Structure 1
Amino acid sequence: MKKKSAKTAGPVMDIGISADDRAEIAAGLSRLLADSFNLYLMTHNFHWNVKGPMFNTLHVMFMAQYTEQWNALDIIAERIRALGHPAPGTFKAFAKLASIEEPEGVPTAVDMIQLLVAAQEATARTARGLFPLVDKANDQPTADLLTQRLEVHEKTAWMLRSLLEE
């Protein structure tokens, strides 16, 4: 049977990453989860409310994007849990942690695209900001998760941005 620590009252975790590093990484992943959730919600909202000449294109594109984003939420939350920390899961927690603000009202289709570009880029910056800590802690699973998320956010931002070009 594993020893119990006084702090956690459960089995001691020894995965080769210090408790302090795991806590810092989990905190960073919690910010990524909050940004990802806000991005998911914004994209789904825009899917429901888009109108105008680009309706069909954007409606379908937003559905693909929010579906991908929804699936990513579980992956991020489960990595936080694997590091031994609770994943945030309330609007209140996400509001405190997120760098992405909710838009007011129903933007025009072009404004939706611009807001989503900014939100994709913000989420990419949040993910990228974790690499120094993850690298220092030798945390390859989190590095892999971050690399995959960056690829999605950068590609999606590029695709959305291309809709704004003349």
Structure 2
Amino acid sequence: MAAKNTTKDVADKLSVLLADSYILTLKTQAYHWNVKGEHFAALHKMFEEQYNELAPAIDEVAERIRALGQITPASFDEFSKLSSVKSTGGQPKWTEMVENLLKDHKTAAASARTVIEAAEAVDDSVSADLATERVAFHDKTIWMLGALVS
């Protein structure tokens, strides 16, 4: 018999979403700073809009974890261990940047969907709504990034 979901399960899934979002924000900001090439202006602006959307969401996710009575992960070490989004260095071409972010937004959207599932199992509509907002952002960003490389 499967164990019953708890608010700790929701907080654990939120912690993964937090880590994915934090690493994704850092990567997006780095790409904003370092993009070059024929699409510089459009990508520079798009990446800035994306990390500006991610930053307040990180705070909301972190505070929701605390509202559920759990400790929020708050170090690069913890984020690296929890996140499926991996940090990258170097100077990739703009097409690689877009492809990397496309993959990472899909990962973050999947993390948010696991939060929704866990939250609904314990009637936690606040966490489910928060994660649904994140899915909407990531899905829109996936569409926009995908249009650049299709």
Same-fold status (TM-score > 0.5): yes
* 1:91 to 2:80 alignment: no
Asked whether the 8 Å contact 2:116–2:132 carries over to 1, the reply is no
Q: Tell me the alpha carbon deviations over residues 62-103 of structure 1, each in whole angstroms, 9 at most, x when there is no partner.
A: 000001101110000010010011111100000110001112
1:71 corresponds in structure 2 to 56
The structure whose RCO (Cα within 8 Å, separation 6+) is larger is 2
TM value normalised by structure 2:
0.94
Please tell me the root mean square deviation across aligned C-alpha atoms, in Å.
0.9
Q: 3-state SS of the aligned residue for 2:149?
A: coil
TM value normalised by structure 1:
0.86
Higher helix share: 2
Rounded Cα–Cα distance in structure 2 between residues aligned with 1:132 and 1:154: 17
Residue 123 of structure 2: which of 116, 125, 138 is its match? 138
2:67 corresponds in structure 1 to 82
Rounded Cα–Cα distance in structure 2 between residues aligned with 1:57 and 1:102: 23
Q: 3-state SS of the aligned residue for 2:72?
A: coil
Percent identity, aligned pairs only? 42
Aligned residues: 146
Computing the radius of gyration over CA atoms, which structure comes out larger, 1 or 2?
Answer: 1
Rounded Cα–Cα distance in structure 2 between residues aligned with 1:70 and 1:110: 24
Shift of 1:131: 2.4
Query: Unpaired runs of 5+ in structure 1?
Result: 1-19
Question: What are the within-5 Å matches in structure 2 for residues 26-37 of structure 1?
Answer: 26-37=11-22
Q: Tell me the alpha carbon deviations over residues 88-120 of structure 1, each in whole angstroms, 9 at most, x when there is no partner.
A: 110000011000111241110000000000000
Please identify, of 35-44 and 96-105, the stretch whose mean Cα deviation from structure 2 is larger. Answer: 96-105
One-letter amino acid of the structure 2 residue matched with residue 61 of structure 1: M
